[in-house]
Chains A and B, each alone.
Chain A
Amino acid sequence: MNTPLRRVALAVIGMIVLLLANATYIQVVNADTYRTDPRNRRVLLDEYSRQRGQIIAGGLPVANSVETGGQLRFLRTYLNGPLYAPVTGYYSLRYGSGGVENAMDAVLNGSDGRLFVRRVSDLITGREPSGGNVELTINPAIQKAAYEGLTRKGYTGAVVAIKPSTGEILAMASTPSYDPNRLSSHDGAVQEAAWNADTSPQNHSPLTNRAVAVTYPPGSTFKLVVTAAALEAGRATPDTPLPATPALQLQGTTTLLHNFADQPCGGGATATLTQALVRSCNTAFAQLATIVGENDLRKQAQALGVGQQDLNIPIPVAPSTVGAIPDIAALEQSGIGQRDVALTPLQNAMIAATIANGGVRMKPQLVRNILAPDLSVLESFTPEQAGVAMSRFTASEIRDMMVAAENSYRNDGKISGVTIAAKTGTAEHGADPKNTPPHGWYVAFAPANNPQVAVAVVVEDGGDRNLEATGGSLAAPIGRAVIAAALQGVR
Chain B
Amino acid sequence: MADAVPVQDTGAAPGALPPTKRGLELIMLAFATIVVTTALVLVELNQPQGLTRSVLYDGAAYLALFSAAHIAVRYLAPYADPLILPCVALLNGLGLVVIHRLDLADETTAASVGSPPPAGNLPHQIAWTALGLGLFVAVLAGVRDHRQLARYGYTCGLVGLGALALPGLLPAALSEVNGAKIWLRFGPLTIQPGEFAKILIMIFVAAFLVTKRDLFTTAGRSVLGMELPRARDLAPLLMAWGLSLAVLALEKDLGTSLLFFGIVLVLIYVATERASWLVIGLMFFLGGAVMSDLLFRHVHRRVTAWINPFADYDGAGYQMAQSLFGLGTGGVFGTGLGAGRPDLVPEAHTDFITAAIGEELGFVGLAAVLFIYLLVVMRGMRAALTVRDTFGKLLAAGLSFAIGLEVFIVVGGVTKLIPLTGLTAPFLAYGGSSLLANYILVALLLRISHAARAPAGASGPRKPVAPLAEARTEMVQRP
Residues of A that sit less than 8 Å from B by CB: 1-6, 8-9, 12-13, 15-16, 18-20, 22-24, 26-28, 30-35, 37, 39-43, 45-46, 70-72
Indicate if the CB atoms of A42 and B273 lie closer than 8 Å: no
B82 within 8 Å of A (CB atoms): no
Q: How far is the CA of A1 from the CA of B370 in the complex (A)?
A: 27
Partner of B325, one of A2, A23, A37: A37
Task: Give which listed residue, A6, A28, A41, A42, contacts B340 with CB less than 8 A.
Answer: A42
Q: Is the CB of B385 within 8 A of A5?
A: yes
Contact A27 B330 (CB under 8 A): yes
A34-B328, A42-B326, A42-B340 known; A22 vs B415 contact (CB < 8 Å): yes
Q: How far is the CA of A69 from the CA of B51 in the complex (A)?
A: 19
17 contacts between A and B (CB under 8 A): A1-B390, A2-B385, A5-B384, A12-B377, A12-B381, A15-B404, A16-B408, A20-B370, A23-B363, A23-B367, A26-B327, A35-B328, A40-B328, A41-B325, A42-B340, A70-B111, A70-B112
Contact A16 B273 (CB under 8 A): no
* Residue in B113, B327, B381 whose CB lies within 8 Å of A34: B327
Minimal beta-carbon separation of B394 from chain A (angstroms): 8
The verdict on A26 contacting B408 (CB below 8 Å), with A71-B108, A72-B112 known, is no
Interface-side segment among B128-136, B245-253, B263-271, B427-435: B263-271
- Could you tell me the distance in whole angstroms from the C-beta of B45 to the nearest C-beta in chain A? 11
Q: Is B157 an interface residue (CB 8 A)?
A: no
- B:379-435 near A, CB below 8 Å: 381, 384-385, 390, 393, 397, 400-401, 404-405, 407-408, 411-412, 415-417
The secondary structure that dominates the A interface is helix
Given the interface pairs A2-B385, A15-B404, A71-B109, the reply to whether A39 lies near B328 with Cβ below 8 Å is no
**Given the complex of chains A and B, what is the CA–CA distance between A276 and B113 in angstroms?**
67
Contact present for B358 and A23 (CB under 8 Å): yes
* B108–A15 CB distance below 8 A: no
Residue-by-residue, is B273-306 near A (CB-CB < 8 Å gives 1, otherwise 0)?
1000000000000000000000000000000000
Q: How far in angstroms is the closest Cβ of chain A from B205?
A: 14
- Closest beta carbon of chain A to B318's beta carbon, Å: 10
| Nearest CB in chain B to that of A41: its residue | B344
Interface core residue of A1, A5, A37 (most chain B CB under 10 Å): A5
Provide the B356-377 mask, 1 if CB < 8 A to any CB of A, else 0: 0010001100110011011001
A4-B273, A8-B270, A39-B313 known; A19+B411 contact, CB < 8 A: yes
Query: A19 to B378, Cβ gap below 8 A?
Result: no
Inter-subunit contact B332/A28 (CB<8 Å):
yes
Residues of A within 8 A of B327 (CB): 23, 26-27, 31, 34
Q: Is B324 positioned at the interface, with any CB of A under 8 Å from its CB?
A: yes
* Cross-chain contact A22 with B329 (CB below 8 angstroms): no
On whether the beta carbons of A34 and B329 are closer than 8 Å, the reply is yes
Question: Is B144 among interface residues, defined by CB-CB distance under 8 A?
Answer: no
Contact status A8-B266, CB under 8 Å: yes
Q: How many angstroms from the CA of A43 to the CA of B273 in the assembled complex? A: 53
Residues of B within 8 A of A4 (CB): 269-270, 273
Contacts of A6 in B (CB 8 A): 381, 385
Closest A residue by C-beta to B408: A15
Give min CB distance, A380 to chain B, whole Å: 35
Q: Is B147 an interface residue (CB 8 A)?
A: no
Q: Which of A5, A19, A33 contacts B370 (CB 8 A)?
A: A19
Q: Does B341 contact A (CB under 8 A)?
A: yes
Most B CB atoms within 10 A — which of A18, A20, A26?
A26
> A384 → chain B, closest Cβ, in Å?
38
The interface residues of chain B lying within 8 Å CB-to-CB of A41 are 325, 341, 344
Contact A16 B358 (CB under 8 A): no
What are the nearest 8 A-B pairs in CB distance?
A: A34-B328, A71-B112, A12-B404, A70-B112, A40-B325, A27-B363, A9-B381, A15-B408
The answer to the question of B331 belonging to the interface, with a C-beta cut-off of 8 Å to chain A, is yes
- Chain B residues within an 8 Å CB radius of A22: 412, 415-417
Chain B minimum-CB-distance residue to A13:
B374
Q: Does B321 contact A (CB under 8 A)?
A: yes
Q: Separation in Å of the B361 CB from the closest CB of chain A?
A: 11
Q: Which residues does chain A contribute within 8 Å of B273, judged by CB atoms?
A: 1, 3-4
- In the complex, which residues of chain B have a beta carbon less than 8 angstroms from the beta carbon of A19? 370, 407-408, 411-412, 415, 417
- Bits for B147-159, please: 1 = Cβ < 8 Å to A, else 0: 0000000000000
Q: How many angstroms from the CA of A3 to the CA of B275 in the assembled complex?
A: 11
Closest CB-CB distance, B333 to chain A, in whole Å? 10
Besides the contacts A12-B401, A42-B325, what 4 more A-B pairs have beta carbons closer than 8 Å?
A8-B270, A12-B400, A16-B374, A22-B417
Closest to B110 in A: A71
Residue of B nearest to A70 (CB): B112
Given A4-B270, A70-B112, the answer on whether A45 and B341 have CB atoms closer than 8 Å is: yes
How many angstroms from the CA of A412 to the CA of B403 in the assembled complex?
A: 87
Does B381 contact A23, Cβ atoms closer than 8 Å? no
- Chain B: interface residue count, which band? 35 or more
A27 to B331, CA, bound (A): 5
Complex interface: chain A residues within 8 A of B412 (CB): 18-19, 22
**What residue of chain B has the Cβ atom nearest to residue A10's Cβ?**
B381
How far apart are the CA atoms of A3 and B273 in the complex, in Å?
8
Bound Cα distance A12, B362 (Å): 23
Shortest CB-to-CB span from A126 to chain B, Å, is 11
CB-based nearest A residue for B410: A19
* Nearest CB in chain B: distance from A186 CB, A: 8
In whole Å, how far is A163's beta carbon from the nearest beta carbon of chain B? 44
Residues in chain A near residue B109, CB distance under 8 A: 71
A7 CB to nearest chain B CB (Å):
8
Contact in complex: B370, A27 (CB < 8 Å): no
Contacts of A37 in B (CB 8 A): 325, 328
Contacts of B401 in A (CB 8 A): 8, 12
Specify the chain A residue showing the minimal Cβ separation from B314.
A39
Residues of A within 8 A of B269 (CB): 4, 8
Report which residue of A2, A23, A39, A70 has the largest number of chain B beta carbons within 10 angstroms of its beta carbon: A23
Residue of A nearest to B321 (CB): A39
Residues in B neighbouring A39, C-beta threshold 8 A: 313, 321, 325
Residues of A within 8 A of B341 (CB): 41-42, 45-46
The residues of A that contact B404 with a CB separation of less than 8 Å are 12, 15-16
Give the Cβ gap from B433 to chain A, nearest Cβ, in Å. 24
Q: Contacts A4-B273, A6-B385, A71-B112; is A27 near B328 (CB within 8 Å)?
A: yes
In the complex, residue of chain A having the shortest beta-carbon distance to the beta carbon of B105:
A71
A24 touches B270 (CB 8 A): no
**CA separation between A430 and B408, bound complex, in Å?**
65
Q: Are A24 and B363 in contact (CB under 8 A)?
A: yes
Q: A5-B270, A19-B417 are in contact. Are A31 and B328 (CB under 8 A)?
A: yes
Find out whether the CB atom of B393 lies under 8 angstroms from the CB atom of A15. Answer: no
Closest residue of chain B to A15, judged by CB? Answer: B408
Are the CB atoms of A5 and B393 closer together than 8 Å?
Answer: yes
* Contact of A28 with B329 at beta-carbon distance under 8 Å, contacts A9-B378, A22-B415 already known: no
Chain A contacts for B385, CB-based, 8 A: 2, 5-6
Which residue of B is nearest A29, CB measured? B328
**Complex formed: what's the CA distance from A32 to B325 in Å?**
9
Q: How far is the CA of A70 from the CA of B313 in the complex (A)?
A: 27
Contact with A along B430-460 (1 / 0, CB 8 A): 0000000000000000000000000000000
List the B side residues contacting A34 at CB < 8 Å: 324-325, 327-329
Q: Which of B329-349 contact A (CB under 8 A)?
A: 329-332, 340-341, 344
Residue in chain A with minimal CB distance to B394: A1
- Bound complex: CA A6 to CA B400 (Å): 12
A27 with B271, Cβ < 8 A, contacts A2-B385, A8-B397 known: no
Write the nearest CB–CB distance from A312 to chain B, whole angstroms. Answer: 29
Expressed in whole angstroms, the Cα–Cα distance for A8 and B277 within the complex equals 13
Known contacts A5-B381, A19-B412, A19-B415, A42 near B344 by CB under 8 Å = yes
Kindly list chain A residues whose C-beta atoms are within 8 Å of the C-beta of B393. Answer: 1, 5
Distance to closest chain A CB from B343 (angstroms): 10
B329 contact set on A, CB distance < 8 A: 31, 34-35, 40, 42-43
Give bound CA distance, A35 to B331, whole Å.
9
